[in-house]
Structure 1
Amino acid sequence: MHEHIINVIKQTEKDHDIKILYACEAGSRAWGLPSKHSDYDVRFIYLHKKNWYLSIDQERDVIEVPNRDEVSIPVDDGLDMSGWELTKALKLFRKSNPPLLEWLHSTIVYHEPFSTAEQIRDLAQTIFSPRSCLYHYVNMAKGNFRECLKREDVRIKMYFNVLRPVLAGNWIKKYQSIPPIGFEELVEDASLPTELKEAIMNLLKRKRAGEEWIVEPRINLIKTYLQKEIEQLEAYAKTLDVEIEDPTEQLNGLFRRTLEEVWG
C-alpha cells in the first residue's frame, strides 16, 4: 500500500498541477490504533503555482481523492486522501488547529520533499494555544460520549473516540504543550489506576485484532472515568487565558519562502 500511496501522491500532483509539500497518515494508524479493517487516511498540504495566488477570486482550497477529485490512475478502495492548500493550512495553524497539528506530528510520513512542514513544526510550540486546542478535544469527547457511551451496548471502537481526546486534553492540562499522537504514550503518561488501565489495554488488544465493531455491554468503569474527566477538563478550559502573539507575519514569511523554494 505504501508504494500505491506514493504513486497516487505523484499522480495528484500531475493531474492538479500542484506540489505536495507534506503527506502523512492520520487517524487510527497514526495513533497506533489500527485494526485489519482500518482504511488508510492520508492527509497532505499542497501548493499551487504562483499565478494561482494572484487571482482576485478565492478558489477551492481542498483536494479530496477519490471522493470528489479524480486522478488518472485507479485508487485502492481502502485509501482516502485529502489535502489543504498551504494558505488554508497556515490560517488554521494560526488557530492551533488540532487535526493539522496531529498531521505535522504523525508517526507515519509518506512524503516530505520540502522544508515547509519542518518550518511549521519549529513555530508550533511558540504559537500553540492550549485553550483553543483543549476546547477542540473536550468538544470532541463530549460529542462522542453523548453519541456512543450513554448507550447500554457499545461498539469497542467507540471507546477510543472518547478516550483519545480525553487523554490528549489531560496532556495539555498537565504540560501546556502539543499532545503526542501515539495512544499508548498518552495512556502511559496518564498514570491511570491499574484496573482501568488494564481494561483500556484489553480493548486496545481486541481492536487491533479486528474486534472493533463488536457490540457488547458498556464497561461502566471506563464510562465513569470518561464522564468525570470530561467535566473536569471543561471546567479547567474555562480558566485558561494564555496570550499568544499574533504570528501572521511569520506565517506570511513562511508562505513566501515556500513559494521560492518550490517554484523558484
Structure 2
Amino acid sequence: MTQDPMIDEAVRRRIGPILNDIERRDGVRILLAVESGSRAWRFASRDSDYDVRFIYVRPLEDYLSVETRRDVIELPIDGTLDVNGWDLRKALGLVAKSNAVVTEWLTSPVTYRRDAETVARLLGLARTCAHLPALAYHYDRSARRAWEPGDGPIRLKSYFYALRPTLALDWIRRRAEPPPMDLPSLMAGTPLPDDLRDAVAILLRRKQVATEADMAERVPALEAYLADTLSEMAPRPGAWDRGPAIGAANEAFRALLRTERS
C-alpha cells in the first residue's frame, strides 16, 4: 500500500485494532470505515485530528427486536482520534433523504476498512437518490458558516472550510450531478482562473505546516470566487417525492441483511 502523506502510518496502525474492538464489544460488523475530515478533504494542518467514520450492520435478530437500539456508536475523543459510526439502517435512511455526508463517506479517498460489494451498492443508491437542490442547500450553508466577506485576517482553516463546499456548490450548478468529496478532485473538474489556482496552491503549502488556529491575510482571487459563487443563495429545498428513494433503500436494507444472515 502506498503511504498517504495525509495519514500517519502509526495512527493508521492504531485504527484497525480500534475497529476490531468495536465489532467485538458491540456485536456488529463494520462495512466501511473512512477518514471524513480535512485529511480526506486533502488540506490537513499539521495538528489536525483524525475523523474516523464508519457504517456498521448488526445481526438480523437485532433488527427484529421490540427494543429500539441506539443507531450510533461513539468513542470518546482522545486528542488525536475522533471515531464514530452509524448503523446501516440509519445510513440508508439518510441516503433516502439525499444526505451529503453519507455520500462523502462512501467516496472518501482514505479508507480503513471496506466491504467493496456493499459500498458499491450503497454508493449507487446514494447517486440514484441524490436530490440536487438538497445537496446545493447543504453546501451553500456549509460555505456561509465558514466564510464572511471582510478585510481583516481570516483563519486559514476557515478559508478551506469555505472553499471546498463552494466548489461543490459550483460543481452542482455546472454539472447537475453530485460533487466529489476532496478538494483536488473538485478543483480538477471546475474551470477556475489561474490566479485562483495559484493562490490555493500557496495556501495549501502553508496549511500543511500551519496549526488549526493560524491566520491568513485575505486573498483577492479567493475572495472574488467565494463572493461570486455565493452571491446567489441556494434556496431551502421544498418537499419532494421520496417514495422511490425510500423503497430502494428498504430493498437494499433487506437484501444486505439477508446476506449477513447467510
| TM-score class, shorter | 0.7 to 0.9
3-state SS of the aligned residue for 1:231? Answer: coil
Q: For the Cα contact (< 8 Å) 2:134–2:236, is it kept in 1?
A: no
Matched, 1:176 2:186: no
CA distance in 2, matches of 1:5, 1:116: 21
Aligned positions, number = 252
Q: Where do 1:1-264 residues align within 5 Å?
A: 1-67=11-77, 77-113=79-115, 115-146=117-148, 149-150=149-150, 152-210=152-210, 212-232=212-232, 234=233, 246-264=244-262
3-state SS of the aligned residue for 2:109? Answer: coil
Q: With structure 1 as the length reference, what TM-score do the two structures score?
A: 0.86
3-state SS of the aligned residue for 1:23? Answer: strand
RMSD, aligned CA: 2.3
3-state SS of the aligned residue for 2:98? Answer: coil
Q: With structure 2 as the length reference, what TM-score do the two structures score?
A: 0.87
Q: For the Cα contact (< 8 Å) 2:125–2:249, is it kept in 1?
A: no
Give per-residue Cα distances to partners, 1:28-58, cap 9 Å, x unaligned: 1111112321211111001122232123343
- What stretches of structure 1 of length at least 5 have no aligned partner? 68-75
Amino acid at match of 1:87: R
3-state SS of the aligned residue for 2:146? Answer: helix
| Percent sequence identity over aligned pairs | 35
TM-superposed CA distance for 1:240, in Å, is: 9.8
Give per-residue Cα distances to partners, 1:109-153, cap 9 Å, x unaligned: 11123632211112232221111111000011112124xx54712
Amino acid at match of 2:247: E
- What stretches of structure 2 of length at least 5 have no aligned partner? 1-10
Give per-residue Cα distances to partners, 1:86-114, cap 9 Å, x unaligned: 11100100111111100000101111236
